[in-house]
Structure 1
Amino acid sequence: MSDIDRDIMRVLPDAATQGTYLSTPDIYKRLSGTVQNMPSTKTIHRHLVKLEQEGLVEMDQRGTASIWRRKAGASGLAAKAGSMINFDEALALQTLRRFSSRQIPELVAESLTPLFEIAETRLMRTNSETERKYSRWASKVAVESGGFALHYPVIKPDKFAEVSRALFEERKLEIVYRPRHKADNDQAKVVLPFGLVEVGGLVYLVAGTEGKANPTMYRLDRLWDAKAMLESFVYPESFKLETYVRQQRNFDFMVENEVLLKLKFFGGAGDHLLEAPMSKDQKSDRKDDALHVQGTVMLSQRLRWWLRSFGPNVEVLGPASLRAELVAEAAALAKIYSK
């Protein structure tokens, strides 16, 4: 398959997930913004005809015009897997599909829909008790979030596709971003995509801007428009996404500085920290009915949210400034609830 064939297959709607078709001029228009040295519309049409003959594309007529879509399972993987997939592989695929609860895996997994459907069909065709155990396995496993469940904004798959394409191919990305304080913004800007990060159900694009030293975070559900450009950029060797996220703690919301956090837990509230420490230098000690824990952490809004979640079952002993802040909050809460 040639590069232009792959590009055509990429922009075509998939019969497995969509009922729509695209005309040849529509396909040409979608490709023209992302494909260098674009061939003519007639050449695109010839490639579509060839792809149809190979069983990868479906064609229909709309009046005198031909319209096209990608045949279900034409990704190649699904076509080969249909007669070869075994029960172990089918179970693994169905488990992946069921428990991909985060947005990035869900969006990426859309391309695997034909494989998921093949796996589901395979698990339904059981010929022995062992095979029936496979088919019942998915109903015996559950995953539940430890936090309060919120309904997060949905990311548009076509916008995610443009962002991820620009990120993969290291191309500039033109976006129209609508933050909460400017929900009607229609001005486009060009950014340099560095990475994608999912935090607490929300997905962010970390992107640079020419002329600015530090990258900016953009929530993907607030992208009104996104288009991968033809122009490429040099991905900065000095930028490491893992460092940006884990060491610089850029997703901890209003990061301040490192502090030695000293806590006193009651009623077993902090016992989970004995197995999942809050820091690498954590120390703990039981005194009477309380658990004393201390460790070096980054002071941030996320830390405050975590501490508040324990209510009266934790006392902040240090640092003094954080203790004073929470004392003032407790006094304000007492005033509210005493009415």
Structure 2
Amino acid sequence: MARRASTQETLALSFEMLKRIPQSHQVTASELHQQLKEVGIERDIRSIQRNLEMLCEHFEIVRDDRSKPYGYSWNKVNTGFSLAKLSPQESMLLSLAEDYLSNLLPANVLSSLSSFFDEAKYNLIPTDSSNKERDWLKKVRVVSETQPLLSPKIHPDIFRAVSDALYNDRFLTLDYHNSKQEQRSATVMPLGLAQQGSRLYLVCRFEGYDNERSLALHRIHKAYVSAFNFKRPKEFKLSQYDADGRFGFGEGENCRIQFCISKDSGFHLLETPLSEDQQVEEHDDHFRISATVIDSRLLEKWLRGFGEQVWDISPKKILHHKY
């Protein structure tokens, strides 16, 4: 016999459903069922449907029963469950946030915001009247410094499990393959999530080790969130991990590098220096650059990218590393 939900559970479910019913468009029971599931609220579809009928009786919620599946939305004259309608500026901000932060938000938080994102998109639909906020989205863009690549495929269940474990400080059991296509399984302590270009990386500690490694999310085949929590190591900081060049395949070791670069290729280094202590000697047709940087494979790749426009590199070992 199924357990009868308590009054507190029923109220909590109703509250979560009210937050997800939009005003500008309709949502179905199945869509609400999926949104609730993504934030850890497990109810069968019949329970969702019964609660929707109850909410229609007590709130200004309209059911469109002209065709199945039925659609639900707030009455147009009602402001909805939120106390205020999104302003054009808030709609613009949310649209930008969805475009550029969706990979860095926990899956449960992203799901909770889905109705707000939908509302923001609706508010920015072109109309006969002027909409400077909508037009602004066409005027700004983040562009790539390198050859653009399509983002690798990450299964939603993998991202959901990784972000859930990271959000709640829980161990994570993974099946994955490395860059050599070798299959591996491991239990890890998730410590951070970083986006580098088109890729997402999980920074973690493998069970039995005290150092950190980065795993590409698109190489993870299966991910299981443990019921066991862990205490985050106080000495770990994601910002320092990045500053140490770990995402550039370095080991956090500084080096003093010197090289010559043609003026055409090196002028940008006068505007965007390699480091705070960068020094530049100007010659007739080139610059002599000296700077303290993190020694990494990314540095080697960057230098090689200039081809014959860069020469006399010191120390020479930088171009002969084996990582």
How does the TM-score come out when normalised to structure 2? 0.72
Equivalent AA in structure 2 for residue 104 of structure 1: L
2:301 is matched with which residue: 281, 301, 305?
305
Evaluate the alpha carbon distance shift between residue 88 and residue 285 of structure 1 in structure 2; reply closer, same or farther with a 3 A threshold: same
Instruction: Indicate whether 1:290 and 2:290 are aligned.
Output: no
* The 10-residue stretch of structure 1 (157-166 or 171-180) with the greater mean CA deviation from structure 2: 171-180
Q: CA RMSD in A?
A: 4.5
How far is the alpha carbon of 1:145 from its aligned partner? 0.7
Identity %: 27
Evaluate the alpha carbon distance shift between residue 182 and residue 262 of structure 1 in structure 2; reply closer, same or farther with a 3 A threshold: closer
Aligned to 2:3: none
Aligned to 1:171: 170
Distance 2:285 2:89 in 1: 49
- 1:1-339 alignment, distance < 5 Å: 5=12, 49-50=50-51, 53-54=54-55, 80=81, 84-98=85-99, 100=100, 103-104=103-104, 109=110, 111-124=112-125, 126=127, 128=129, 131-182=130-181, 185=183, 188-247=185-244, 249-255=245-251, 257-322=253-318, 325=320
Q: Structure 2: state its 5+ residue gaps.
A: 1-6, 60-68
How far is the alpha carbon of 1:80 from its aligned partner? 4.3
Distance 1:158 1:266 in 2: 49
How far is the alpha carbon of 1:127 from its aligned partner? 6.7
CA contact (8 A) 1:167 1:193 kept: yes
CA contact (8 A) 1:16 1:114 kept: no
Evaluate the alpha carbon distance shift between residue 140 and residue 45 of structure 1 in structure 2; reply closer, same or farther with a 3 A threshold: closer
CA contact (8 A) 2:280 2:287 kept: yes
Q: How many correspondences in the alignment?
A: 293
Distance 2:170 2:240 in 1: 22
Distance 1:198 1:101 in 2: 10
Equivalent AA in structure 2 for residue 90 of structure 1: S
Equivalent residue of 1:268, what SS? helix
Equivalent residue of 2:269, what SS? helix
Evaluate the alpha carbon distance shift between residue 19 and residue 236 of structure 1 in structure 2; reply closer, same or farther with a 3 A threshold: same
How does the TM-score come out when normalised to structure 1? 0.69
* The 10-residue stretch of structure 1 (148-157 or 47-56) with the greater mean CA deviation from structure 2: 47-56
Distance 2:284 2:199 in 1: 41
Distance 2:277 2:141 in 1: 33
CA contact (8 A) 1:316 1:322 kept: no
How far is the alpha carbon of 1:153 from its aligned partner? 1.1
Distance 2:158 2:16 in 1: 18
Distance 1:166 1:79 in 2: 33
Equivalent AA in structure 2 for residue 297 of structure 1: V
Equivalent AA in structure 1 for residue 104 of structure 2: I
Q: Structure 1: state its 5+ residue gaps.
A: 57-67, 327-339
Deviation per CA, 1:293-312, whole angstroms, max 9, x where unpaired? 11011222111111122122
Evaluate the alpha carbon distance shift between residue 102 and residue 45 of structure 1 in structure 2; reply closer, same or farther with a 3 A threshold: closer
Distance 1:106 1:139 in 2: 27
Evaluate the alpha carbon distance shift between residue 152 and residue 138 of structure 1 in structure 2; reply closer, same or farther with a 3 A threshold: closer
Evaluate the alpha carbon distance shift between residue 80 and residue 125 of structure 1 in structure 2; reply closer, same or farther with a 3 A threshold: farther
Equivalent AA in structure 1 for residue 306 of structure 2: F
Q: Runs of 4 or more off by more than 4 Å in structure 1?
A: 1-6, 13-23, 44-52, 70-73, 78-83, 105-111, 125-128
How far is the alpha carbon of 1:233 from its aligned partner? 1.4
Distance 1:239 1:106 in 2: 20
Evaluate the alpha carbon distance shift between residue 71 and residue 243 of structure 1 in structure 2; reply closer, same or farther with a 3 A threshold: farther
How far is the alpha carbon of 1:105 from its aligned partner? 5.8
CA contact (8 A) 1:81 1:115 kept: no
Evaluate the alpha carbon distance shift between residue 304 and residue 17 of structure 1 in structure 2; reply closer, same or farther with a 3 A threshold: farther
How far is the alpha carbon of 1:21 from its aligned partner? 8.5
How far is the alpha carbon of 1:72 from its aligned partner? 8.3
